[in-house]
Structure 1
């Protein structure tokens, strides 16, 4: 039987909407079957494609695959079945090989080879967004052995020059390599993932001696790899983790060090908005969607160390974080154990400048239910009479308990006055002046994002509007960086209209020269340090 110039377009009614095929196939089949004898039919089938092109829609983007050569063959003779192929992709590599099964009705021994030559990952670039790309070359020389029940594989597979650039990547990948060596029913893996900052070394092995009880393991170890999750998170991680997979369980163990991080939350993203516990998701037919659980359970046992240079800015809070956490996941769910400390921090909201002098978050179970032990005091420089006034928050995150305290001890009303106004109830300042200062502070606190966007428009980075001082010395201050390292700050008194201009220039990390012009003039050399 011969097939002459069969047009693949004729198969369109039988194809999914997301798949299109064009081109023509020519082939022939020569099959015979002696019904008087036991056994399989004898014969050979060949197909040869010309101008074949297949387009598959992936993530709403067309992925075209064009073939210069597409030859397929199947042969069954002398108690041996053989399948062969030769595929040359347009402007890409070549895939060729053959698979043989000897004694298909008995021992079913395997033989043959699989070759991949210079296959480019750039073929998948059409499904990426603008500015995203994939590069790299895949080569393989593999030989088959064993039998169908216990297959064996020999040879090597290499992936070189791999560079995937996309918004979905948490790090800036540089050309990387990966190699797998196969030796019968076992294999090993070695590779390096290079990034613009730091690299990850990969090693692994697999064993399929028992095909129904296979096992694979991959270890990843890196040092200070920069991870970026725009627009809020930048952190360096040093992973030392091992992932193990079997037919019945996935397991992740190890530790992750985070020596440096900058987490800036300017506003709550939609994903952070909580939903009702009785939320029900519906499909397009308004039927409840059944939640699908993973077919293979996942267990994890990770230790996370938060180093000394991890800083958080969120909703007026600027704090440094340290601590250790242990992440455990099993069939009962995700659990978090450990403690996060806030050794120092500041909180500015509604005109109040609070200093976090003690902060502890204790985790023992669900990650969203830590125990709190936090103390924040009003900035002593903005508080009269050398009084320390603050807020102490304790209890669980879902039911926190807040109380006002002071040093020296005084009534709650007096302590609240020092906390909110920076002065006692008996202060000589008029109530109207105090209220004016508070209201201006609250208004300034709510304008931060708008002011920042105005600064970006005019090329001034980190433009901010704030209040400083207490009582009659209160000021409204605007500050920003007009040049890299040069900060300009201009303050005007709320009650006396006296202006102060400050210029601060960074000579080197942590060393600044500052010039102040107001009622008095000053030139200072400042060194910043942490302890």
Structure 2
């Protein structure tokens, strides 16, 4: 090698080394120095083309690095993000191991604004198989974010006050060691780990509580995966209880199973407050693969079933097929639906149809039963679609034919046909709605003898009308016309008429008239045409029920509106008398209003009410006044009444960012308790900051002599809150105002206490609270007091030395309670919770209670008297708040009570309750009655589920003058959210029933007039709808084994009274199902004698036969005889109980009239003379036998006595059968006299025959007199 070449190589090596040193030095300079880091930041901003802007930079990339005011703006993607402060500390040495290791990352003040992108997004890359393998390993030891907002131009979507994270995404696994998100909207916590080899392996669990809009969601999540399956379990606790369990195999076809259980709940409480649904429940299960599957189960709406026989789907890359089969209601009508959707890269095309038949929409859903069948079809894509259908819908025998056809595009929806054709009427409508470029509409409708009651049961009628409306929405407001003509007909039994011709031009300028009449009530609106609003409104309501169901009263109102929107003036008044709406009643109301600028109101409003009754409170007078404008206004309300009256005055004004003012006066007057008055004005300040409300209420103290009750509180936009209270000599009698006639409780005692509680922005609670009460009592009012006489009360519970304390210290909380009960009872409890902000919140609590007398519980069971017994309880809770472990027991012994209605004296009662799980309890116990006993054992849950076995031996079930009954039950009781099921056997070994001494349920009670309408009276059907359906299969044994072994009277079922002396035996298998008659199979046998009017009848055969027969309509096989010398005469009853067939027989055979005479008089008919003694006996006997047998005897008796007519027949004026004797005084004049057989009363009838077919008749009965013309014709 020459020297020149060596030099070249040497200098080349030196240059390379210097270059390497220069690069390494530059890298070291960029990473480890602040100036280098700033240089790198400038280069990054340049590369991003102005999208990224960085503020102050402190530190280096090697760490720690702090950046202030970071801003990223990308209009093309619709992203505008800013970060107030970022701090990061990296472990750079781990980069040699291809690991991005973040030791600490803190960010605060994140504001992410999502807007519409200005450019089309780039085409999606072809999908690739999902993998957990990261492009590079990432580990984060600590991540903290504060004050995070995700929003769009209209509103904030999510706000996070604090979020922490620790975890990593590496070749080994994706791990979340901890995730904790805190927000004014709620919280989310999670931890878990998942790895991917040939399949996914891992587990995770979390909790969440989040408010979206006005809806709160809360629950837990548990996920796990092994080599074969992945399992997800989610339990929702709000807004409803629900459990979802899903499993997916990790095989290539991904077979899956799911189970969803939603226990019965009331959707009006949290989910749908305005819904007409009173209950919902669901139980669904499904299975399938990634390409096809089926779901089935049941959904219950207002306890009416909707059976999902199958919901099937089948999918491929370009096609989705759906098939559904539903069964609706108790009649199991069917609905079949299917859909076929074809997908392409640009769009989709769908064909769908639904067919249903024999469907009865339950009254529990829509207020009345609606019968329907029909079909609907859909065909289209996003640019053009068509829908059409034909169906019938309506009540039984009043179904309407409905035809529907709709055509739509993204710009326009056309209603081409909407016809409802009823048996006697019709409704037709057509129209269109423009969606682009602005919202506009045009609709025409006509009605002829249309009955809305076919679809809304409370609005029956017959209407005809012509309706046309069209308009559009502009930036200044709506521009529309409305024309209603020829409105005539009846609605809810009232004449309806009306016309309207109204235009509305922007901005909100009406012109025209509206006139509506219902019954004797009217509504008039008149608006003069012009550049300003000049409108009058006149309401004249003779009866509020003319307009609204379930209401009454008179109302008159007149208002005038003048000006140009929004600068208008509203002036008018209203007067009402004897008003009622549902449960609210108002004797009188007067309203006067003079208001300007409704959007920024000023003026005055005055309201006076008398006799207001609502929500259990009664106010004799209510006076309300409001005046001023938005900047300065005042409102006050003054009431008198019982049990509470109050007076309040508020003064304040709207500020630029909220409202501030003060409660100048507040007086709360609780009868017989205290008259609390606000000691000094309480200031209230409300401010809005970033669409969040801040509220501050100064200390407000209510005083009355030595009573003092003080409150103070506030809330900040970040969700933090603070509140405090102090109580001095506050009487428990304040709670007496909530007492009702159904629960007339009275409280006595004084309470003291104080507390100061604070919640920070992360949801942690701090502070303490305590309440003390030296002594007090709860009593029940037996006789209400008056001004001169004090109330008579019964003391139910007394206590002494009541104490409750709570201490909150962020993640931990402690509480204790103690008190003495009655003379020697007590309640002691204490608990501790640690880690409130952790996934596993630890809990440790203990409780002991002893109540020496259970008399206080009698107030909740008014059918009981003389309640006694003692109760002891001890328990503890440990483990975590999410999965608590509950131990302990509740025992009650020496239980005793009387049930006066059935004459029972229960004694030796015992009850034992032990927790089996967090929601289920083991229950056992028993009670004695008479010489017998009853025992029960099983389980019960907090959700109302019951599984109980009940058995007893000779338990005295009734002991009143008319009945003494012993039972020996052996039954199972199972209750869930859908039904209650009873099964087993009930033996009645002994019973003595005297029919004459049984209590009669108000035979003499005064019935309501037919004119009287009972408002809101619950019908048996409505009560049945609210009750959980009952399913029962019970065997009832009358007499039983004891009766067969002995002839002792006390070992039999005996019936006596009204001349009957009989024994009853038999066995019935009773079956009860919702919506059908209770049926039975088996027989009941009766033997004995019947004595009436001196006659002895022997029951030779007495059977009631059941073969899946309604319980009140058995087949009859009864024979009763009387022996007179060598003659045996009797009555034979066959047929059913509701349609009996009575015949008379004898041995030796003779005519039925003679046989009946032997039964009644003990002699043949020929031996009965016309003497008064035998006539009276026959008449009395006829009454006892009734119209069927009496009519037979009366005809023969009439011939013997020489009367033109002697008959037993129904008489309308007496309301039952009557023995009638009639005589023609002349060929044209007929006079009759009738006497009631079963109902007291007499009827005299006089009839004069004018011609063969025409006569005049007059009748006089026990209650009224009638006269009329009678015309007869024969065919």
> How does the TM-score come out when normalised to structure 1?
0.71
- Which of 1087, 1090, 1094 is matched with 1:351 structurally? 1094
Q: CA deviation at 1:375?
A: 0.6
Q: CA deviation at 1:406?
A: 0.7
Q: Which residue of 1 aligns with 2:1153?
A: 413
Residue 138 of structure 1 aligns to a residue in which SS?
strand
Q: CA 1:442–1:425 in 2, change beyond 3 Å: closer, same or farther? A: closer
- Which of 1116, 1137, 1141 is matched with 1:401 structurally? 1141
Residue 1023 of structure 2 aligns to a residue in which SS?
coil
Q: CA 1:155–1:359 in 2, change beyond 3 Å: closer, same or farther? A: same
- Which of 771, 779, 783 is matched with 1:47 structurally? 771
Deviations along 1:366-416, one digit per CA (max 9) or x if unpaired, are 3222221111111x2xx02x1110001111222211110011222222222
Residue 817 of structure 2 aligns to a residue in which SS?
strand
Q: In the alignment, is the contact (CA less than 8 A) between 2:780 and 2:859 conserved in 1?
A: no
Q: Which residue of 1 aligns with 2:140?
A: none
- Which of 117, 130, 135 is matched with 2:850 structurally? 117
Quick check: 1:329 aligned with 2:1072? yes
Q: CA 1:426–1:298 in 2, change beyond 3 Å: closer, same or farther? A: closer
Cα distance between partner residues in 2 of 1:58 and 1:101:
44
Alignment of 1:134-149 (within 5 A): 134-145=867-878
Cα distance between partner residues in 2 of 1:135 and 1:170:
17
Residue 120 of structure 1 aligns to a residue in which SS?
coil
Deviations along 1:181-227, one digit per CA (max 9) or x if unpaired, are 32444533332322331112222234x5xx76x74322121112222
- Which of 975, 985, 997 is matched with 1:255 structurally? 985
Q: In the alignment, is the contact (CA less than 8 A) between 1:63 and 1:127 conserved in 2?
A: no
Cα distance between partner residues in 1 of 2:980 and 2:881:
26
Q: In the alignment, is the contact (CA less than 8 A) between 2:968 and 2:988 conserved in 1?
A: yes
- Which of 934, 937, 945 is matched with 1:200 structurally? 934
Q: CA 1:376–1:279 in 2, change beyond 3 Å: closer, same or farther? A: farther
Q: In the alignment, is the contact (CA less than 8 A) between 1:6 and 1:25 conserved in 2?
A: yes
Q: CA deviation at 1:33?
A: 4.5
Cα distance between partner residues in 2 of 1:154 and 1:46:
28
Quick check: 1:158 aligned with 2:901? no
Cα distance between partner residues in 1 of 2:856 and 2:1017:
39
Residue 296 of structure 1 aligns to a residue in which SS?
coil
Alignment of 1:452-531 (within 5 A): none
Deviations along 1:344-384, one digit per CA (max 9) or x if unpaired, are 21111233211110111123443222221111111x2xx02
Deviates more, 1:391-400 or 1:294-303: 294-303
Unaligned runs of 5+ in 2: 1-723, 785-792, 1044-1051, 1185-1275
Q: CA deviation at 1:52?
A: 2.8
Q: CA 1:351–1:330 in 2, change beyond 3 Å: closer, same or farther? A: same
Q: CA deviation at 1:69?
A: 1.8
User: What RMSD in Å do the two structures reach over aligned CA positions?
Assistant: 3.8
Q: In the alignment, is the contact (CA less than 8 A) between 2:812 and 2:832 conserved in 1?
A: yes
Alignment of 1:181-196 (within 5 A): 181-185=914-918, 186-196=920-930
Quick check: 1:29 aligned with 2:748? no
Residue 348 of structure 1 aligns to a residue in which SS?
strand
Alignment of 1:236-247 (within 5 A): 236-247=966-977
Q: Which residue of 1 aligns with 2:1059?
A: 316
Q: CA deviation at 1:326?
A: 1.9
Q: CA 1:169–1:70 in 2, change beyond 3 Å: closer, same or farther? A: farther
Q: CA 1:145–1:120 in 2, change beyond 3 Å: closer, same or farther? A: same
Q: In the alignment, is the contact (CA less than 8 A) between 2:805 and 2:816 conserved in 1?
A: yes
Q: In the alignment, is the contact (CA less than 8 A) between 1:155 and 1:183 conserved in 2?
A: no
Q: CA deviation at 1:248?
A: 2.7
Q: In the alignment, is the contact (CA less than 8 A) between 1:372 and 1:395 conserved in 2?
A: yes
Deviations along 1:268-297, one digit per CA (max 9) or x if unpaired, are 744286999x999955xx454453334422
Q: In the alignment, is the contact (CA less than 8 A) between 1:93 and 1:118 conserved in 2?
A: yes
Q: CA 1:272–1:301 in 2, change beyond 3 Å: closer, same or farther? A: farther
Q: CA deviation at 1:304?
A: 0.3
- Which of 377, 389, 392 is matched with 2:1132 structurally? 392
Q: CA deviation at 1:417?
A: 2.4
Q: In the alignment, is the contact (CA less than 8 A) between 1:281 and 1:289 conserved in 2?
A: no
Q: Which residue of 2 aligns with 1:292?
A: 1023
Q: CA deviation at 1:141?
A: 1.0
Q: Which residue of 2 aligns with 1:368?
A: 1112
Cα distance between partner residues in 2 of 1:376 and 1:129:
45
Q: CA deviation at 1:266?
A: 0.7
Cα distance between partner residues in 2 of 1:299 and 1:58:
39
Cα distance between partner residues in 2 of 1:15 and 1:426:
77
Residue 1001 of structure 2 aligns to a residue in which SS?
helix
Cα distance between partner residues in 2 of 1:104 and 1:5:
32
Q: CA 1:147–1:330 in 2, change beyond 3 Å: closer, same or farther? A: farther
Q: CA deviation at 1:74?
A: 2.3
Q: CA deviation at 1:423?
A: 2.7
Cα distance between partner residues in 1 of 2:1011 and 2:872:
48
Q: CA 1:101–1:271 in 2, change beyond 3 Å: closer, same or farther? A: farther
Deviations along 1:138-157, one digit per CA (max 9) or x if unpaired, are 00111124555655421121
Q: CA 1:94–1:166 in 2, change beyond 3 Å: closer, same or farther? A: same
Q: In the alignment, is the contact (CA less than 8 A) between 2:1129 and 2:1159 conserved in 1?
A: yes
Q: CA deviation at 1:122?
A: 3.3
Cα distance between partner residues in 2 of 1:156 and 1:130:
28
Unaligned runs of 5+ in 1: 446-531
Cα distance between partner residues in 1 of 2:887 and 2:1082:
49
Q: CA deviation at 1:166?
A: 3.7
Q: In the alignment, is the contact (CA less than 8 A) between 2:902 and 2:960 conserved in 1?
A: no
Q: CA deviation at 1:24?
A: 2.2
Q: Which residue of 2 aligns with 1:424?
A: 1164
Residue 271 of structure 1 aligns to a residue in which SS?
coil
Deviates more, 1:15-24 or 1:432-441: 432-441
Q: Which residue of 2 aligns with 1:89?
A: 821
Q: CA deviation at 1:334?
A: 4.9
Quick check: 1:79 aligned with 2:811? yes
Larger radius of gyration: 2
Q: In the alignment, is the contact (CA less than 8 A) between 1:3 and 1:25 conserved in 2?
A: no
Cα distance between partner residues in 2 of 1:312 and 1:94:
51
Alignment of 1:261-276 (within 5 A): 261-266=991-996, 269-271=999-1001
Cα distance between partner residues in 1 of 2:1017 and 2:925:
44
Q: In the alignment, is the contact (CA less than 8 A) between 2:1069 and 2:1082 conserved in 1?
A: no
Deviations along 1:210-249, one digit per CA (max 9) or x if unpaired, are x76x743221211122222423211221111111222332
Q: CA 1:108–1:403 in 2, change beyond 3 Å: closer, same or farther? A: farther
Cα distance between partner residues in 1 of 2:1157 and 2:733:
84
Cα distance between partner residues in 1 of 2:1055 and 2:1176:
28
> How does the TM-score come out when normalised to structure 2?
0.31
- Which of 730, 744, 768 is matched with 1:7 structurally? 730
Q: Which residue of 1 aligns with 2:866?
A: 133
Q: In the alignment, is the contact (CA less than 8 A) between 2:979 and 2:1031 conserved in 1?
A: yes
Count, aligned residues: 431
Cα distance between partner residues in 2 of 1:280 and 1:324:
46
Q: In the alignment, is the contact (CA less than 8 A) between 1:253 and 1:300 conserved in 2?
A: yes
Residue 1111 of structure 2 aligns to a residue in which SS?
coil
Q: In the alignment, is the contact (CA less than 8 A) between 2:765 and 2:810 conserved in 1?
A: no
Q: CA deviation at 1:303?
A: 0.7
